[in-house]
Chains A and B, each alone.
Chain A
Amino acid sequence: MKLDSRIPQGPLAQKWENYKNNQKLVNPSNKRNLDIIVVGTGLAGASAAASFGEMGFKVKNFTIQDSPRRAHSIAAQGGINAAKNYPNDGDSVHRLFYDTVKGGDYRAREANVYRLAQVSNDIIDQCVAQGVPFAREYGGLLDNRSFGGAQVSRTFYAKGQTGQQLLIGAYQSLMRQVNAGTVDLYTRTEIVDIVIVDGKARGVIARNLVTGEFTRHFAHAVVLATGGYGNTFFLSTNAMGSNGSAAIKAFEKGAAFANPCFAQIHPTCIPVHGEFQSKLTLMSESLRNDGRIWVPKKKEDAEAIRANKLKPTDIKEEDRDYYLERRYPAFGNLVPRDVASRAAKERCDAGFGVGSTGLAVYLDFKSSIERLGEETIRARYGNLFQMYDKIVDDNPYETPMMIYPAIHYTMGGIWVDYELQTTVPGLFAAGEANFSDHGANRLGASALMQGLADGYFVLPYTIQNYLADDIRTPRMTGDEKEFVEAETTAKAKFEKILAVKGKRSVDSLHKELGLVMWDFVGMARNKEGLQHAIDRIAEIKKEFWTNVKIPGSTDGMNVELEKASRLTDFITIGDLMARDALQREESCGGHFREEYQTEEGEALRQDDKFAYSACWEYQGQDVAPVMHKEELTFEVVKIAQRNYK
């Protein structure tokens, strides 16, 4: 497998300009004859599809939901980063780039990250022009807030609903193109395979989730913008429908899957409270701007709280351990997510955790309410406080919130080069689905930035560079043997799942997989545990194919069948994650190997051995995948141990 990152020549700051100056273009009359399939309608997918449509390409856009607006980008709360430096606090493109590479623990490609920082400002301009109602100051100009991993305020936000507003902006642009006839929208439709003709991605096989019907779709290029694979863990902050199936189809068709073990565990989620639980709810990282995280200093206090004999408000100030402020005075409660998550786990493992399970810490707004008044806090976080109250039945204005880390985002994903093209020509990946920008840990408010950067400002350029060589390729009918074969294979898989007729529901198997992932491929990993996880995942796979039970048939709507098909792909991803975590004998970002830590318990990288992206190549069902390395070179950033102290 050839891994060519295709980074343009020139100094870092000029690379993107150089690329754009030299890339190939497609003239307007040819654009009409070129088709692009975009899978997914989240920030990356909707922005890409809308932009392609505006440029004059013929676009087919697919979503599993009933409307593009349901994509899980909508749930992002806190904000979107950009290097505007409106607050005049010393921000710049270079600093945003630097913070992102450092925040990612030096496991991302410099050139991609620099471009991301460069286009970040265009995103804000674009969104304002679309009517995104960002928060403003009384003078009418845009307001900023600070976020973890940065010492400047560069985060633009729309209450606690930034993802929603950005997605609606992209969705509206998309619907404008649907109205103009440049984009054909396929809702409640799932991609079940990618079609390769003569080594190039030429289309997809789709399954209509209402009728169960399979259809073939041709395109000159295919873009996957299908999000991350956090739901491998069953319990995560992802939406119930979020899945990694399209990414796994790409993997099985020859696209390298990079750094699967880099998954982000978000520090501020509502703790797990019962076996019936279906998902974990995130409380925005922005809460850490005004909330202080603590556990009791004395073990007996923690025990009393767990036994319901003491309330958090009974613990005196001097008996509270604000452990993030204690350990990381420079960044305090605003350390990056991986650091905050591990610190919470450390305290809970040491016996200082609270809540009925002991797996929770406090996020306390008392001092902010005293300093700023309840009204200010309500204006900033009102909707989040209400959300917490509805779920937990507790009022965060009066008593501290309880939080615990949960799987939230996956930095790993489909390997892409500088053009966001995978190792399969004509197959592109954007947003969370690719692996490109966040290294081993993503900073808060950077996911929205990356999704929109890819869709609005990167792919519209790079896909032209590819399609310019394709203007003589006529449209295919879908009757070619490659399409027919792909459809037959996809159908056969669904039939095979139905034919098992075992005893166990999909959810019960998925929960079993999730527990293995959380226990052995979660916040702290070690060699023995990972080897055990690989064995357990193989057992779960066997159990699935011999004992899964799906009511109904392939005709018509069959939700259990959809879930079962996705679970088979989660099993593949779980195995990949464990293998990747096993080979990476270092700790970096969201990947923490217990064997590799400093005396203070901080992540210990091994730059001499592991400064690479691990790219996995598919070898067939039940055959171990093969790893290839893309070495990372840092020309501008000086590699150092991350220090937030």
Chain B
Amino acid sequence: MDNNISLDLKIWRQNDARDKGRFETYHLDAVSPDSSFLEMMDILNEQLINEDKEPIAFDHDCREGICGMCSLYINGRPHGPDDDITTCQLHMRRFKNGETITIEPWRSAGFPVIKDLIVNRSGFDQIIAAGGYTSVSTGGVPDANAIPIPKPDADEAMDAASCIGCGACVAACKNGSAMLFVSAKVSHLALLPQGKVEAARRAKAMVSKMDELGFGNCTNTGACEVECPKGISIANIARLNREYLCAKMQD
């Protein structure tokens, strides 16, 4: 195709968690603007393999913006220059011919680098394990329509529940706080009668796990909301604070 572009890619390389890491620059020609960002990475890796070099490790899976696996910090922004999308949904038509693109892993105390652009986000799982659920076991539950839920509440819960756990909020935050992630889960469940029962306990347990894992504090900069690919609102953080305060007052 005639409108293909050439790029210089400045990419973070790190052999493993103990390695210090460094930037390396690669040149790539003939990238179709219709290819996705990760397809561009595939092309680069194919080139590296053919040159007997080790390909770049990066996390990705569904490539349609829902699994939350992809996690690149592109030109200083989590998930790159476009809004409301994950890295896998970013397309090369957003970049200019001859441009230099800087690609880094999420950088945060809570997300140590595993290799190259891959980080360890198991902290998020630990936070959910601490209380991000309703304590019901399989079977023995009431009919699904037994408790009517006002549509606005259900819709708001859905909006909070659409978090994909990618960690862009943490990567965007200068404090490395996981408050948007935690608050989205606390909100999702607290808004529904099924989750309201243990809302206070949940808020306390999840926040305390978040602190224990070394995620930073929230100073309301709002960077997380701007970079969230799913548009999770920081209003959820206010709701979390309310639930947390209630819980603490009950203590």
Interface residue ranges, A against B (CB under 8 Å): 47, 50-51, 54, 65-72, 74-75, 84, 86, 122, 124-131, 133-142, 158-159, 161, 163-165, 168, 171-173, 175-176, 178-179, 185, 187, 210, 239-241, 273-274, 276-279, 281-282, 386-387, 390-391, 393, 456-457, 460, 505, 507-508, 549, 551-552, 556-557, 559-560
User: From residue 147 to 171 of chain B, which have CB atoms closer than 8 A to chain A?
Assistant: 148-151, 154-155, 157-158, 161-162, 164-165
Query: Which of A65, A137, A179, A281 is the one whose CB lies under 8 Å from B129?
Result: A179
**Closest-CB distance, B187 to chain A (whole angstroms):** 11
Contact B64 A282, beta carbon cutoff 8 Å: yes
A-B contact pairs, 12 of them (CB 8 A): A51-B138, A65-B69, A67-B124, A75-B66, A84-B144, A126-B141, A142-B145, A179-B129, A179-B130, A505-B50, A507-B46, A551-B55
B11 at interface (Cβ–Cβ under 8 A)? no
B99 at interface (Cβ–Cβ under 8 A)? no
User: From residue 27 to 68 of chain B, which have CB atoms closer than 8 A to chain A?
Assistant: 32, 34-36, 38-39, 42-43, 46, 48-50, 52-55, 57, 59-68
Contact B55 A560, beta carbon cutoff 8 Å: yes
- Evaluate whether A178 and B129 lie within 8 angstroms (CB atoms) in the complex, with A136-B154, A276-B35, A456-B138 already known: yes
**Closest-CB distance, A26 to chain B (whole angstroms):** 16
- Not counting A136-B154, A171-B128, A390-B89, a sample of 20 additional A-B residue pairs whose C-beta atoms are within 8 angstroms of each other reads A66-B121, A72-B62, A72-B67, A84-B144, A131-B157, A159-B162, A163-B66, A173-B137, A176-B129, A176-B133, A179-B129, A210-B115, A239-B61, A240-B63, A278-B38, A457-B139, A549-B49, A556-B115, A557-B16, A559-B55
Closest 10 CB pairs of A and B: A140-B148, A172-B133, A129-B141, A133-B158, A175-B129, A54-B137, A179-B129, A128-B144, A133-B157, A239-B61
- Bound-state CA distance A505–B91 (Å) is 24
- Note all chain A residues with C-beta closer than 8 A to B49: 505, 549, 551, 560
B194 at interface (Cβ–Cβ under 8 A)? yes
- Bound-state CA distance A279–B60 (Å) is 12
B110 at interface (Cβ–Cβ under 8 A)? no
- Evaluate whether A278 and B42 lie within 8 angstroms (CB atoms) in the complex, with A551-B49, A557-B57 already known: yes
- Bound-state CA distance A348–B46 (Å) is 33
B189 at interface (Cβ–Cβ under 8 A)? yes
Query: Which of A124, A139, A508 is the one whose CB lies under 8 Å from B46?
Result: A508
- Bound-state CA distance A70–B38 (Å) is 17
Q: Which of B46, B128, B151 has the most chain A CB within a 10 Å cutoff?
A: B128
Query: Which of B114, B133, B161 is the one whose CB lies under 8 Å from A165?
Result: B161
- Note all chain A residues with C-beta closer than 8 A to B91: 390-391, 393
Contact A276 B145, beta carbon cutoff 8 Å: no
- Evaluate whether A130 and B133 lie within 8 angstroms (CB atoms) in the complex, with A140-B150, A505-B46 already known: yes
B135 at interface (Cβ–Cβ under 8 A)? yes
B251 at interface (Cβ–Cβ under 8 A)? no
Contact B157 A557, beta carbon cutoff 8 Å: no
- Bound-state CA distance A536–B115 (Å) is 37
**Closest-CB distance, B200 to chain A (whole angstroms):** 16
Contact A387 B61, beta carbon cutoff 8 Å: no
- Evaluate whether A164 and B129 lie within 8 angstroms (CB atoms) in the complex, with A75-B67, A278-B39, A507-B42 already known: no
- Note all chain B residues with C-beta closer than 8 A to A50: 138
- Evaluate whether A460 and B138 lie within 8 angstroms (CB atoms) in the complex, with A67-B165, A273-B34, A551-B52 already known: yes
- Note all chain B residues with C-beta closer than 8 A to A65: 61, 67, 69
Report the nearest B residue to A237, measured CB to CB: B64
**Closest-CB distance, B111 to chain A (whole angstroms):** 10
- Bound-state CA distance A281–B154 (Å) is 28
- Bound-state CA distance A313–B39 (Å) is 31
Query: Which of A68, A390, A559, A560 is the one whose CB lies under 8 Å from B85?
Result: A390
Contact A131 B194, beta carbon cutoff 8 Å: yes
- Bound-state CA distance A470–B15 (Å) is 45
Contact A210 B114, beta carbon cutoff 8 Å: yes
Report the nearest B residue to A392, measured CB to CB: B34
Report the nearest B residue to A279, measured CB to CB: B63
- Note all chain A residues with C-beta closer than 8 A to B46: 505, 507-508
- Bound-state CA distance A92–B77 (Å) is 51
Query: Which of A54, A161, A276, A457 is the one whose CB lies under 8 Å from B66?
Result: A161
Contact B132 A172, beta carbon cutoff 8 Å: yes
- Note all chain A residues with C-beta closer than 8 A to B93: 393
B122 at interface (Cβ–Cβ under 8 A)? yes
**Closest-CB distance, A186 to chain B (whole angstroms):** 11
B188 at interface (Cβ–Cβ under 8 A)? yes
Contact B148 A125, beta carbon cutoff 8 Å: no
- Note all chain B residues with C-beta closer than 8 A to A507: 42, 46
Contact B144 A140, beta carbon cutoff 8 Å: no
- Note all chain B residues with C-beta closer than 8 A to A187: 122, 125
- Bound-state CA distance A75–B59 (Å) is 17
**Closest-CB distance, B44 to chain A (whole angstroms):** 11
**Closest-CB distance, A401 to chain B (whole angstroms):** 15
- Note all chain A residues with C-beta closer than 8 A to B130: 179
- Bound-state CA distance A71–B129 (Å) is 17
**Closest-CB distance, B145 to chain A (whole angstroms):** 5
- Bound-state CA distance A125–B120 (Å) is 35
Contact B64 A75, beta carbon cutoff 8 Å: yes
Report the nearest B residue to A82, measured CB to CB: B144
B81 at interface (Cβ–Cβ under 8 A)? no
Contact B138 A136, beta carbon cutoff 8 Å: no
User: From residue 1 to 18 of chain B, which have CB atoms closer than 8 A to chain A?
Assistant: 15-16
- Evaluate whether A135 and B154 lie within 8 angstroms (CB atoms) in the complex, with A126-B139, A279-B63, A560-B55 already known: yes
- Bound-state CA distance A124–B69 (Å) is 27
Query: Which of B66, B84, B121, B195 is the one whose CB lies under 8 Å from A386?
Result: B84
Report the nearest A residue to B40, measured CB to CB: A276
Contact A131 B128, beta carbon cutoff 8 Å: no
Q: Which of A65, A187, A559 has the most chain B CB within a 10 Å cutoff?
A: A559
- Evaluate whether A241 and B61 lie within 8 angstroms (CB atoms) in the complex, with A276-B42, A560-B49 already known: yes
Query: Which of A70, A131, A557 is the one whose CB lies under 8 Å from B114?
Result: A557
B101 at interface (Cβ–Cβ under 8 A)? no
- Note all chain B residues with C-beta closer than 8 A to A273: 34
Contact A131 B192, beta carbon cutoff 8 Å: yes
- Note all chain B residues with C-beta closer than 8 A to A210: 114-115
Query: Which of A128, A172, A239, A386 is the one whose CB lies under 8 Å from B62?
Result: A239
**Closest-CB distance, A252 to chain B (whole angstroms):** 26
- Evaluate whether A387 and B65 lie within 8 angstroms (CB atoms) in the complex, with A50-B138, A164-B162, A393-B91 already known: yes
- Note all chain B residues with C-beta closer than 8 A to A456: 138-139
- Note all chain B residues with C-beta closer than 8 A to A386: 84
- Evaluate whether A70 and B89 lie within 8 angstroms (CB atoms) in the complex, with A131-B195, A460-B138 already known: no
